[in-house]
Amino acid sequence: MLAIFPIGRACPSGQRARRLLVGIRAVICLALGSLSMPGQAVVPSPVATFDWTIAETLLALEVSPVAMGNIEAFHRWTAENYLDAHIIDLGVQTLPNLELLGLLMPEFALLPPRHRPYRRRLHGISNGILLDSYPYQGKPGDTWNGLIAFTKALGRIVDKEREAKTLIDDAEKRLASLSGRLDSVQPLMVVQLLDERHLRVYGKNSLFQAVLDQLDLKNAWQEATNDWGYAVIQIKTLFEFPDAMLVIIPGAFPVGIEDRLENSVIWSRVPSIEQGRVVVLPSSFWLAGGLPSAMRFAESLVDGLSAGGVRSAEPQTGGCQDCEFHR
Amino acid sequence: MMGQAMRAGSPALACWLLSLPLLLLFWLGLEAQGGLTLGLKALVLPSFEDVDQLLLHYAWWPRLAVALLAGGGLALAGVLMQQVLRNPLASPTTLGVASGANLALMASTLLAPGLLVFGREWVALAGGGLAVGLVFMLAWRRGLAPIVVVLAGLVVNLYLGALATALLLFNHESLSGLLIWGAGSLAQNGWDGVATLWPRLVIGAVLAWFLLRPLAVLELDDASAKSLGVSLKYLRFAGMGLAVFITASIVSVVGIIGFIGLAAPNIVRIAGARRLGERLFWGTLLGAVLLATTDLLLQNVTGVLPTLIPTGAVTGALGAPLLMWLIPRLKLQGNRAPQPATVLANRHPEPSRLATRLAIGLLLAVGLGLLLGQGVDGWYWLSPDDWSVMQWRVPRVLAAAASGLMLAVAGTLLQRLSANPMASPEVLGISGGCAIALILGIFLLPAPTSGMLVGVGTLGAFATLLILVALNRHSGFVPERLLLTGVAVSALFDAVRSVMLAGGDPRGQQVIAWLAGSTYYVDLTSAVVVGTLAALLALCTLPLTRWLDILPLGAATTRALGVGLNRARLVLLLLVALLTACATLVVGPLSFIGLLAPHMARLLGLSRAHHHLLGAALVGMLLMVLADWVGRQIIFPYEIPAGLVASLIGGAYFMWGLRRL
C-alpha cells in the first residue's frame, strides 16, 4: 500500500499519507460492496484513554489500554516501543470516536483534566475517571513530583501499585546514576526548531525541566512558558545566552531547514553553535509525556552530552537523517 | 489631524503624517540598540566582532527593509486588483493567492518534503499561482467579469482553507512551523528575503507603470471600454496576473500579511487620490509605511510576552477598526460604472416537484446517517432500535440538519436582502464575532464549561450585531456597507486565530477542531434544543417572503411598493443574526453552507422567494447531513468535521456550477 507514496516511505510523513490512503481504501471497499475493513483482534481490557501520557504510563505498568487516540503518532513519539500492543485506534485525540468506544465498552476511561467534558457523555458506556494529578495543567509547580504523583495515582486506579512504585524507584535510581556520568555543568537550552527564524524553548512546566532538575543540570531558560512548558522565540534571542549548551529536539522539523540554517550568518554566529556546544537528540519521547518519555529523554540527553556534544546521539529515526548543526 | 489632511485632499500630506510615528519608532528602536550612529554604521560598515552590530546588520535592518518592501508591494497589488475588479473590497488575499500558497506548503511538508528542500518560495509561488489559475479558469467564460472573479476567489479561498484545516487537524504538531509563517512573521536572519523580494517588486512596479493607461480605461463601464477598442479580457488578465505575481512573491517570503493591500489603497483614495497613477504611487508608499510602523511597534512591545505575535496577524487586528472607521467614509457606488446583471439561472418549471425530490433525498440521507456505519469489524447496518449506538448518531444527524437549515435560511435572507451573491452569514461577520468570543472564552476563563461557552458565544454574536447596527444605522443598512463591516470582523477573527495558532498553545488544537465545524460536541439535549430553534426561526421567515421578493429589486422600487426599507432590513438582519449565532455554536464559523445552499437552490432554478427559501433549506440540510455522515466514515475511526466536508463537497459543486454559467 505504501508503495503508492514512494517519497513518503523515507520519512515519518509516510504514515500520514497512509491515513489518507485508509480513507481512500474505505471508499473503494464501499464501492466494491465488500463491506468489511481489515478487522483487528479485540483483546478485552478494562481501560481506554485518549491521552498519550496516560497511555504511555499505563503500558509501562503492563496494562495495555484497549483503545486510544491517534496511535500512529503515539508510536512515533514512543520510539516504537509498544508496536506489539493490541490497541484499537480511536482517531485524532481532539475528536476521539465515541461511537467506537461505545461498541468496545471498556470498564474505565481515564481522562486528563482537559477531557473533562467527555465524562458526562461517557455515562453508560464506561466509568470516566478524571486524573486530577495529571502533570500538565498549566499550574506552576514541580513537574517531577507531579509525574510521580500521577504515576502513583494511575497505579492505584488500575490496581498496579507495586509496579508503579517499581517504575518510580527504577527511574530515580537510573537518573542518579546518569547524573553521576556528567561532569560539565553548563546551563542547557532545550530547543525545537520551528522554521529557520523561530524556535521553541522549553522551561518551567515542561517534562525536560523536570528531568534536568533530577540530573542536577541547569536550564538557561527561566522565562515564562505556556501550559506545555515552552515559549516561542526568535533565533536572535539565543545571543542572550552565550554560555548555553543547545539541546535540539527534532520532532516537528520543517523539512529543508538544515540548508537554510547552514547558509544563515546569524545562526552560525550564535555563540553555542560557533563554539560547537550542540546536541541533537532523536525523537523518541513525547514532549509532554510521562515517566517513560522522561527516561528516554534522560538517556539520550546524557549519551549526547557525554559524547561531547555536536553529533546526534543516535541515528535519526525522523526525517532528518543528515542534520549537521555544527560548523 | 488626519481628518484635516483628508479634507485638504492631499494624499501626500496623509502619507507624511502617517509616517511620523514610523520615524519616531525607527529612532526609538535604534536608540534601544546602541544609538543612531551605531545603527547606521552596522548597516553600512558592520564589524561582526560586536554582537550588537551583527544583530543590527543581519536581523534589524533586513526586517525593516522587508517590512517596507512587503507593505509597498501588497498595497501596489491591492490598487491593481481594486482597479481591475472595480471593487474597493478586492485585495491580494481575496483571490486565493495566500491560501493556495499556504495549502501547497502544508501538503508538501506532509507528502513530499523533498520539494521543500528544493525551495520553499517556489512551492508557495506554485501554490498561489495554481489557486489563482483556478479562479481565472472559473471566471474565464464570463470574460473575467469582476463579480464572477471575486465570487470565484471567495469560493477557492474557502475551499483551500477547508483543505488546509483538515490537514492541520490531523497533523498539528508537524505543521507548527508553518503556523508561524501563516501568521506572517517578519523576523529575518539575513538579507536573503530582501534580495529575493526587491528585484521582483521592481519588475512589478515597472510593469504596473506600463499598464497605467490601459487600466485607467477600466473606470468606464464594459461597453464604453470595448468601444475604445480594448480587449477587456486580456487587460484584466494582465492586471490581475501582475497583482498575483507581486502578492505571491511577498507571501512566499514573509507569509500571509492581512489587510495592508485592502487598507492602504482605500486610505489614499479617501485622502483624495483619484487617478490611478496617484493611487498606485501614494498607495504603495503608504502600504510600506503602515506595515513598517506596525512591525516596529510590535518589536518594541513583544519583548515582554511569552508568546510570539506575528506581524501579519497584528496588521489584521489593527486593520479591522481602521476599516470600520473607513466604512462610513467610503463612496461605494460613487462614480463607478453600472455593473452588468448578476448571476441568473433559468427558472425551474415545476418547483414543487423539485422540492419533493430534494425532500426525498434528505430522508434518504438521514437514513444513511443513522443506520450505516462502521464498527470494530467493518461496515454494518444498524437496526433502528439499537439505542446504544443510536444515542451517538441521532444528535449528530439532528444537529447537522438544524445547522444546515439555519445557515441556508440565513444565507438566503442575506443574499436577497443585499442583492449580493457574495453575501452569507460567514461574510457578515456574525460567525466570526461569535468565534472570537468563544476563543477568548476558552483561553481566558479559568475552567470553561460548555454552558459558559454557549453564553460567551451568544454574547459575541450579539456584540457583533450591535456593531453592525451602530455602524450602519445612519446609512439605512446599505448592503455593501454591511458586508464591509462583516469583512472587518472576519479580519479580526483571522487575526485572533492566527495569533492563537502561531503561539503554539496546546489548547489551539481543540479550537481548530471546533472551528472546523463538527457536530461532535452535540449531545441529545442540545441537539433537540437546536432542532426546535431552527424549525421556529425558519417558520418566522415565511411571513417575510413578500419583502424578500421585493428587496432585490432595489431601494427605489421597494419604497415605491410601500415597504418600509429600514424596518424590513432591521427585522431581517436580526433574524439572520439569531440564525447564525445558533448555527455557529453548533458547527463552528467556517461551514460555508450559508453561501452555498442559496446559490445551489438558485442554480437549480428556484427563484421566487418562498421557493428559494425552501429549496435552500432543503439543500442546506441535505448537504450537512451527508457531510456529517461522510466525515464520520471516510477515514474511520478518524473524523473529518461536517463543516469541512460540507465545504469540500459543496465547494466542488459550486465551482462546477460557476464554470457553467
Asked if B54's CB is within 8 angstroms of A7's CB, the reply is: no
C-alpha distances in Å from residue B329, one per residue of A224, B87, B471, B570: 44, 15, 11, 22
Closest to A208 measured CA to CA, from A138, A141, A298, A278: A298
Residue labelled with grid coordinates 461577520: B429
Dump pLDDT digits (tens) for B214-246. Answer: 888 777 776 777 777 667 778 888 888 899 889
C-alpha distances in Å from residue A310, one per residue of A238, A275, A299, A314: 17, 10, 16, 12
Structure confidence at residue B138 (pLDDT): 85
Average pLDDT for B242-269: 86
C-alpha distances in Å from residue B388, one per residue of A100, B169, B628: 11, 28, 19
Confidence of residue B65 (pLDDT cuts 50, 70, 90): very high
Give every CB contact of residue B66 below 8 A, 6+ residues apart in sequence. B186, B188, B193, B194, B197, B253, B254
Distance from C-alpha of B283 to C-alpha of B75, rounded to nearest angstrom: 6
Domains B2-329 and B369-374+386-660 fall in the same CATH topology:
yes
Asked if B173's CB is within 8 angstroms of A252's CB, the reply is: yes
C-alpha cell at A245: 549548551
Which of B308, B510, B637 minimises the CB distance to A198? B308
Q: What is the mean pLDDT of chain B?
A: 81
Dump pLDDT digits (tens) for B415-456. Answer: 888 776 667 777 677 788 888 888 888 778 776 676 777 778
What would be the CATH architecture of the domain defined by B369-374+386-660? Orthogonal Bundle (1.10)
C-alpha cell at A91: 482517531
E-strand ranges in B363-473 read: 372-375, 378-381
Give every CB contact of residue B156 below 8 A, 6+ residues apart in sequence. B95, B96, B99, B100, B131, B134, B135, B138, B655
CA angle A314, A315, A319 (to 5 degrees): 125
pLDDT at B306 over 70: no
Structure confidence at residue A40 (pLDDT): 38
Asked if A263's CB is within 8 angstroms of B192's CB, the reply is: yes
Asked if B174's CB is within 8 angstroms of A94's CB, the reply is: no
Distance from C-alpha of A220 to C-alpha of A224, rounded to nearest angstrom: 12
pLDDT at B587 over 50: yes
| Å between A165 CA and nearest CA of chain B | 30
Residue B419 region, left (φ>0) first, then alpha (ψ -120 to 50), else beta?
left
Asked if B54's CB is within 8 angstroms of A269's CB, the reply is: yes
Phi, psi of B64, deg, nearest 5:
-60, -45
Give every CB contact of residue B529 below 8 A, 6+ residues apart in sequence. none
Structure confidence at residue B567 (pLDDT): 80
Which of A7, A39, A228 minimises the CB distance to B114? A7
C-alpha cell at B144: 473575467
User: For chain A, which domains are there?
Assistant: 2-32 (no CATH), 47-170 (3.40.50.1980), 184-306 (3.40.50.1980)
Closest to B388 measured CA to CA, from A45, A127, A126, A124: A124
Cβ of residue A97 closer than 8 Å to a chain B Cβ:
yes
Of all residues in chain A, the one with the smallest CA distance to B166 is: A20
Which of B55, B112, B449 minimises the CB distance to A7? B112
Interface of A with B in 160-179 (CB under 8 A): none
Residue B619 or B560, more confident: B619
Which of B117, B169, B373 minimises the CB distance to A99? B373
Structure confidence at residue B621 (pLDDT): 94
- Return the CATH fold of B2-329: ABC transporter involved in vitamin B12 uptake, BtuC (1.10.3470)
Which of A11, A89, A236 minimises the CB distance to B113? A11
Distance from C-alpha of B185 to C-alpha of B253, rounded to nearest angstrom: 10
Of all residues in chain B, the one with the smallest CA distance to A105 is: B388
Structure confidence at residue A45 (pLDDT): 56
| Å between A205 CA and nearest CA of chain B | 13
Structure confidence at residue B302 (pLDDT): 65
C-alpha distances in Å from residue B472, one per residue of B2, B329, B421, B466, B486: 23, 12, 20, 10, 11
Structure confidence at residue B581 (pLDDT): 78
| Å between A269 CA and nearest CA of chain B | 9
Confidence of residue B660 (pLDDT cuts 50, 70, 90): low
Q: Would you give the distance in Å from CA B314 to the centre of its chain?
A: 16
pLDDT at B99 over 70: yes
Give every CB contact of residue B554 below 8 A, 6+ residues apart in sequence. B419
Structure confidence at residue B172 (pLDDT): 75
| Å between B241 CA and nearest CA of chain A | 29
Which of B378, B506, B518 minimises the CB distance to A95? B518
Low-confidence ranges of chain A (pLDDT < 70): 1-45, 138, 140, 184-185, 251-259, 308-327
Q: Domain ranges in chain B? A: 2-329, 369-374+386-660
The model scores a pTM over 0.90: no
What was the ipTM of the complex prediction? 0.75
Q: Give the 3-state DSSP-derived string for B525-573, with helices as H, strands as E and coil as C.
A: HHHHHHHHHHHHHHHHHHHHHHHHHHHHHCHHHHHHCCCCHHHHHHHHH
Distance from C-alpha of B441 to C-alpha of A123, rounded to nearest angstrom: 26
Neighbours of B338 (CB within 10 A): 9
CA angle B157, B161, B162 (to 5 degrees): 120
C-alpha distances in Å from residue B298, one per residue of A201, B16, B73, B187: 21, 21, 20, 11
Which chain A residues are closer than 8 Å to B375 by Cβ?
Answer: 100, 103
Asked if A17's CB is within 8 angstroms of B308's CB, the reply is: no
Structure confidence at residue B337 (pLDDT): 35
Least confident among A152-156, B11-15, B493-497, B586-590: B586-590
Which chain A residues are closer than 8 Å to B637 by Cβ?
Answer: 88-91, 97, 100
| Å between B302 CA and nearest CA of chain A | 11
Give every CB contact of residue A99 below 8 A, 6+ residues apart in sequence. B373, B389, B392, B393, B632
Which of A16, A252, A264 minimises the CB distance to B176? A252
Distance from C-alpha of B180 to C-alpha of A257, rounded to nearest angstrom: 14
| Residues B594, B617 contacting (CB under 8 angstroms) | no
C-alpha distances in Å from residue B168, one per residue of A62, A156, A175: 33, 37, 37
Asked if A235's CB is within 8 angstroms of B307's CB, the reply is: no
Dump pLDDT digits (tens) for B523-546. Answer: 888 889 889 999 999 998 888 888
Structure confidence at residue B534 (pLDDT): 92
Reported as type and span, the H/E element at residue A191 is strand A188-193
Which chain A residues are closer than 8 Å to B192 by Cβ?
Answer: 263
Structure confidence at residue B340 (pLDDT): 39
Q: Checking DSSP bridges between strand A278-280 and strand A245-248, what pairing results, if any?
A: parallel
Confidence of residue B409 (pLDDT cuts 50, 70, 90): very high
C-alpha distances in Å from residue B139, one per residue of B86, B93, B153, B650: 15, 17, 9, 18
| Å between A118 CA and nearest CA of chain B | 9
Q: Look up residue B58 and give its DSSP letter.
A: I
| Å between B473 CA and nearest CA of chain A | 41
Asked if B638's CB is within 8 angstroms of A19's CB, the reply is: yes
Structure confidence at residue B576 (pLDDT): 85
Distance from C-alpha of B360 to C-alpha of A155, rounded to nearest angstrom: 55
Cβ of residue A51 closer than 8 Å to a chain B Cβ:
no
Dump pLDDT digits (tens) for B315-372. Answer: 877 777 777 777 777 665 433 333 434 445 567 777 888 888 999 999 999 999 888 8
Cβ of residue A100 closer than 8 Å to a chain B Cβ:
yes
C-alpha cell at A250: 527534532
Asked if A73's CB is within 8 angstroms of B378's CB, the reply is: no
Structure confidence at residue A17 (pLDDT): 45
Chain A interface, best mutation among B376, B501, B515, by max A CB count within 10 A: B376
Dump pLDDT digits (tens) for B293-302. Answer: 989 888 877 6
| Residues A46, A69 contacting (CB under 8 angstroms) | no
Structure confidence at residue A159 (pLDDT): 87
Q: Which residues of A23-60 are buried (b: 16+ CB within 10 A; e: fewer)?
A: beebeebeeeeeeebeeeeeeebbbbbbbbbbbbbbbb
Which chain A residues are closer than 8 Å to B371 by Cβ?
Answer: none
Chain A interface, best mutation among B121, B194, B370, B379, by max A CB count within 10 A: B379
What Rg, from alpha-carbon coordinates, does chain B have?
A: 25
Dump pLDDT digits (tens) for B151-189. Answer: 778 778 878 888 888 888 887 777 777 777 777 788 888
